[in-house]
Amino acid sequence: MAGRLPKTVDQHKLEGTYRKSRHADRGTNLEPLDGVECPDTITGRAREMWEQVVPALCKARMVTTVTLPTLEHAFYWWQKAQECRAVVDAAGGLAAYLLTLGPNTKNVMDLALKYEQEYQKIMAQFGDTPVNAARVRGNVTEQKVDADAVLAIMGNG
């Protein structure tokens, strides 16, 4: 998410900077969406997570018609991970579940972790990492590191 989004054709027309040779083929409008409804295919805990996360992303102007399918796909992976975890919970916890596994049986906890990693990879594009979240908030401040304080904390001072 580097730089600012390009202006839309409508913005150029309003500002009087529209040039057919430069702006006519802009195509998809990249205006951020004000709000997005959760798809019917996303249910349970994934829907609850959607209701917490997506409105904040919309408010931060990070959801567009182009990014919406990617966002929906992320929550699909989150839902699949929660379904795997429900299988473990239904068995009475991880230890009880592992005792039920036979030879050559796929461990759903491995799948849950894989699905959660897919979710995290996608959500990193929307600022769901500490560094990106700080950039989105816009409150990253450069602080000079006090070398003496660092050495004192480490025990070398």
Encode pLDDT of 80-130 as tens digits: 999 999 999 999 998 999 888 888 888 999 999 999 999 989 988 877 655
Write the CB contacts of 38 (distance below 8 Å, at least 6 apart in sequence): 47, 50, 51, 54, 75
Domains of the chain: which residue ranges? 64-138
- DSSP letter at 127? T
Both structure tokens of 94: 């991880």
The string of pLDDT tens digits covering residues 57-94 is 888 888 888 888 999 999 999 999 999 999 999 999 98
The string of pLDDT tens digits covering residues 12-59 is 788 888 777 776 666 555 778 888 999 999 999 999 999 998 998 888
